[in-house]
Amino acid sequence: MLAINPFAALSASIAPAVMQAYVILMIVLVAAGTLFDMVHKGSAKYFFQNWRRSRGKAQQVSGGELASIAVQTAVVDVLASGEFCNMRRRIAHLLTMYGFVIHAVATIAMVFGASTGDLWPRLWWIGGLMVLAGGYWFWFFIRVDVAAEGSSPFRLMRADLFVVSLLASVTLGLAWAWFGSMILFWLYIIASTVLFGSVPWSKFAHMFFKPAAAFEKRVSNANGTRANLPAPADKPEQFGTRVKHARNY
């Protein structure tokens, strides 16, 4: 089961060209949604304006230092999710992030007929299980409003759209591949369409903005401006115990 390409078996009822067109459409939706998010919220404009202001006030940072900062950003902030101080949250995030990348790449490879034996099906399952492990761990045990404030894990807000649709898509996809039910397949398609089609309203686009924000933060520290960063609070206790709990999660 884990070594079988489920999309190849599906080709008996759905033409491969249709599946490929669907994957391309989802990629287009992500790109268009991200661009819309940047224009609508002014994220890119704000970032570049702030970048220019900080450079105008700053000490010069050499090209070699900028290259070093770029490498640190890629390794620490992007690949290792160094912004998470809480180790449980970092592990859950890394499982979900790498699992999603592996699962998505394997999906594209299998839909477009990449032939490497059972490698892509196994990676598809491994990536999907990583998403479920990290995503459900975060959802039920690590979220601040659940772990620190005692809210129900089934309480939903618009900010939860990305993680909920991601978990629904991967869960239904693996369930469809295991049981072979076309009902589960169409539910999988619906959840996947919501995941990739809701970029302007979810946190999906944040994965593209976070590296830029992390790079700006490191450059601001290097040139002495600390642009766009509030001064650290000397006594976080003054904001109440809820903030102290939130910092721990």
- Give 3-state DSSP helix, strand, coil % of the chain, rounded to 5: 75, 0, 25
Look at residue 56 and tell me whether its pLDDT is greater than 70.
no
The answer to whether 38 touches 176, Cβ cutoff 8 Å, is no
Three-state DSSP class for 15? coil
More confident residue, 154 or 8: 8
Look at residue 142 and tell me whether its pLDDT is greater than 80.
yes
Summarised one tens digit per residue, pLDDT across range 148-187 is 555 666 677 777 899 999 999 999 999 999 999 999 999 9
* Residue written as token pair 């299980």: 129
Look at residue 242 and tell me whether its pLDDT is greater than 50.
no
- 94 within some domain: yes
The whole-model pTM stands at 0.76
- H/E stretch holding 126 reads helix 119-137
Is residue 160 classed exposed, middle or buried when 0-12, 13-18 and 19+ CB atoms within 10 A define those classes?
middle
More confident residue, 238 or 59: 59
Rounded to whole angstroms, the Cα distance separating 45 from 37 reads: 11
Q: What is the pLDDT of residue 223?
A: 63
- 192 within some domain: yes
- 57 within some domain: yes
Rounded to whole angstroms, the Cα distance separating 54 from 60 reads: 11
- 136 within some domain: yes
Rounded to whole angstroms, the Cα distance separating 78 from 176 reads: 32
What is the count of structural domains for the chain?
Answer: 1
Domain that holds residue 179: 6-227+236-247
Residue type present at position 104? A
- 1 within some domain: no
Q: What is the pLDDT of residue 85?
A: 72
- 147 within some domain: yes
- 127 within some domain: yes
- 175 within some domain: yes
Q: What is the pLDDT of residue 247?
A: 40
